[in-house]
Amino acid sequence: MAEALPYVPGLAGVPAARTSVCLIDGEVGKLEYRGYPIEVLAEHCTYEEVAYLLIFGALPTKTQLDAFSAELVAERGLKFRIVDVLKTLPESGHPMDALTAAVATMGMFYPGDHVADPDFRRLSAIRLIAKVPTIVAAWDRIRRGDDPIKPSTELGHAANFLYMLDGNEPGPVASRVFDVALTLHAEHSMNASTFTARVVGSTLTDPYAVVASAVGALSGPLHGGANERVLEMLSKLDDPSAASVRRWAEDRLARKEKIMGFGHRVYRVKDPRATILQGLAQELFDQKGSTPIYAVAGELERQMSELVGDKGIYPNVDYYSGIVYQKLGIPTDLFTPVFAIARVAGWLAHLLEQLEDNRIYRPSQVWVGEADRAFVPLSDRG
């Protein structure tokens, strides 16, 4: 029998796939999608271009992008029965649970052989990228007692989501800022939800079950759920003075409590996406005015750098994203669903890559229990 490999908690540093989708160098804060630096993609591309790049491996030509965007627009609508499913859910439930339910339901309406049929695989990817924003916006409307707003056929992917929330077409600055935020969250190599997508996809189940599973993984507070908690955490820090923020951070660290929005399994420096999100926040502040919470966030970042910077604990993508989303008028409990709206492209890119050279995931284990125990009948158990 092959020599047992050592157990590594959380599979930290253990390669789980051969991939060409996303490259991260955590020591220097480098992030690339299909070989392109995130800074270049954030500055020059739309989310539609980035989704195309992730799924098909190359940046689209104008013709390819126009066709891809038209396919996304054509698939934005929801089956009325899926809207009915959303209407049956408790309005107090978390939007990530509503998204999981609705995406899983899609699999019942769009059956097909995504493994053998490349055209069906492509259509499934289009449907998921196109419909996830509509599901999130529809849920937000329904839980408030309003009818869902029909997706626009004119607006881009990012602007259409903001439009579906309240029926108002966002301005150019808000549209562009949100579009870049989607690009920043679109992919990030072997994170927990993407690994989930690959594991579930390796069983050859349908893409809707894969994405519903990944949504579940993303919703956890140690992963995508952190962005919502960062804002809640910062809003409790009512005294932005350096002394008060430092005391707060020292108390939490002393109690070994995780400070949301900080730390990362891979980055040992500040997450490059956090830096770009700070720039986006500034763009919004220039247009809509600043927010006191941003000053608190900056002070906490300075204090954390002094306290735990030597341990490689710096802001991650979730630290500033909530401040941008709040300024865009997005409700706090939609922050993680917005993460899913972006990340669905990355999940699908990894699913398609997994299917190209698939072997079902089935890792081993380190046995720490008892074996070959003597059975004692119930009547004889003391």
The least distance separating ligand SDX from the CB of residue 262, rounded to whole angstroms, comes to: 4
Residue closest to ligand SDX, measured at CB: 263
User: What single letter denotes the amino acid at residue 134?
Assistant: T
Among 114, 141, 188, 270, binds ligand SDX (CB under 6 A): 188
**Cα atoms in the 13 Å half-sphere on the side-chain side of 229:** 13
Joined tokens for residue 131: 């419909």
Q: Which of 179, 206, 271, 318 is catalytic?
A: 318
Q: Which is nearer to ligand SDX, 85 or 136 (CB)?
A: 136
State the residue for tokens 């492209």: 345
Helix-strand-coil percent breakdown of the chain, rounded to 5?
Answer: 60, 5, 40
Site for ligand SDX, residues 30 to 89, rule: CB under 6 A: none
263 binds ligand SDX (CB under 6 A): yes
Count of residues that bind ligand SDX according to CB under 6 A: 22
Among 226, 293, 296, 352, binds ligand SDX (CB under 6 A): 226
357 is catalytic: no
Among 260, 324, 348, 349, binds ligand SDX (CB under 6 A): 260
Residues pairing with 33 in the sheet: 22, 36
Angstrom distance (rounded) from CA 354 to CA 253: 39
x/- mask, ligand SDX, residues 301-340, rule CB under 6 A, reads ----------x-x--xxx----------------------
Q: Which is nearer to ligand SDX, 79 or 268 (CB)?
A: 268
Q: Which of 157, 185, 264, 350 is catalytic?
A: 264
Angstrom distance (rounded) from CA 221 to CA 318: 11
318 is catalytic: yes
Please, which residues have CB within 8 angstroms of residue 255's CB and are 6 or more apart in sequence? none
Among 223, 246, 288, 302, binds ligand SDX (CB under 6 A): 223
Q: How far is CA 138 from CA 52, 192, 232, 273, in A?
A: 25, 27, 24, 28
Helices vs. strands in the chain: H and E counts, helices first: 16, 3
Q: How far is CA 124 from the centre of its chain?
A: 19
**Cα atoms in the 13 Å half-sphere on the side-chain side of 305:** 10
SS3 81: helix
Q: Which is nearer to ligand SDX, 128 or 260 (CB)?
A: 260
The least distance separating ligand SDX from the CB of residue 320, rounded to whole angstroms, comes to: 12
- Enumerate binding residues for ligand SDX (CB under 6 A): 10, 188, 191, 222-224, 226, 253, 256, 258-265, 311, 313, 316-318
Q: Catalytic residues, which ones?
A: 264, 318
